[in-house]
Structure 1
Amino acid sequence: MKVKVVVFGILRFPAENIELVLPHLKSFVDATREKDNCIAYDVAEDPFDKGLIRFTELWPDRESLQSHLNADHVIPWRDSAKKYGLMERKFSSYDLSSDEIPV
């Protein structure tokens, strides 16, 4: 499947809440990978900034991304994020206009 849309994002939680957030994040990521037609959906806590979670998403088209944003499993995740003190959320998407170029 060809990548046409890439998303980069961050969420920031209080460092002391990160262990409480992770089980909810795992459920959300598992559902996204299983149901939302993503090519890749990668999430990791920044090892140098406790509480910062980075997202990298690859999508075949804008429609798939939009469907993901409206999916049923997004609402429980957003509720959990608020419950555990979401402090910052920044996501940007980009349309790719060329084929993959290995580096």
Structure 2
Amino acid sequence: MNATVAVFGFLRFPPEKLAAVRPHLKTLVEATYQHDGCIAYDVAEDLFDPGLIRFSELWPNVEALQQHLVAPHIEPWRTAARGCGLLDRKFTAYSVDESWAV
């Protein structure tokens, strides 16, 4: 399946809250893969910036991304993130016209 949408973003939490964030994040990622039709949904803690969690996502189309944003598992995740002290968030979606190996 070819991706037509790529999303990159981050969430920032107090570093001391990351242990509390991880189980909620795991639930989000598993539900997204199981239900939302994503091609890739990768999440990682930044090794050099404690408290920063980076996201990279590939979606088959805008409609799949829009459905993900209102999926039943999103609001519980957002509530949990706020409860864990979410400090900042930024996500940007891009249209993917073609891809090639580098």
* TM-score between both structures, scaled by the size of structure 2: 0.99
SS in 2 for 1:18: helix
Aligned partners of 2:22, 2:79: CA distance in 1, in Å? 14
What is aligned with 1:9? Answer: 9
User: How many aligned positions are there?
Assistant: 102
| Identity percentage of aligned residues | 56
Alignment of structure 1 residues 1-103 onto 2, 5 Å: 1-98=1-98, 100-103=99-102
Runs of 4+ in structure 1 deviating by more than 2 angstroms, as ranges, are: none
Deviations 1:35-80 (A, max 9, x none): 0000000000001111100000000000000000000000000000
* TM-score between both structures, scaled by the size of structure 1: 0.98
Instruction: Report the CA distance between 1:97 and its aligned residue.
Output: 1.5
The alignment's C-alpha RMSD in Å is 0.5
- What are the ranges of 5 or more consecutive residues in structure 1 without an aligned counterpart? none
Aligned partners of 1:41, 1:97: CA distance in 2, in Å? 19
